[in-house]
Amino acid sequence: MSRRAITTEQAPSAIGPYSQGIQVGNLVFTAGQSSLDPATGQLVAGSIEEQTRQTLRNLQAILAAAGCSMADVVKTTVFLVDMNDFKAMNSAYAEFFPVAPPARSTVQVSALPLGARIEIEAIAFKAIDDKQG
């Protein structure tokens, strides 16, 4: 089974020794994304809704580079620094998954890299043309 790294300039560069995403067979695994603006490398300021939207746009860009869309996502994990942000995060999250949202886990963590308030990782299922392998 082939394994390939997914990279795009439309999402923030990795801040450590990891890939933005990895595709293995029909599965695409993204690294956790935060609300970093790929153009500036800075965290998006503002509400948790704004930060959630930027985080999901970053995931969307990585998935697009792998030939997937948000509709292909089967599982996400959301990491929140403050579980009091759960309801507001859910509101913005639902905008990106309007139909048959993926399975999801949400956990509170004590801190995230660069002072982010949210991080989300995703697993997507990509239909592969038999001719491509």
Q: What is the pTM of this model?
A: 0.94
Whether pLDDT at 132 is above 90:
no
Supply the pLDDT for residue 15: 83
| CATH fold of 3-125 | 60s Ribosomal Protein L30; Chain: A; (3.30.1330)
Domains of the chain by residue range: 3-125
Q: Choose among 113, 125, 115, 103: nearest CA to 32.
A: 113
Could you report the per-residue pLDDT of 10-27, keeping only the tens digit for each?
Answer: 999 988 899 999 999 999
Of 51, 59, 63, nearest to 89 by C-alpha is 51
Q: How far is CA 3 from CA 9, 116, 128, in A?
A: 20, 30, 14
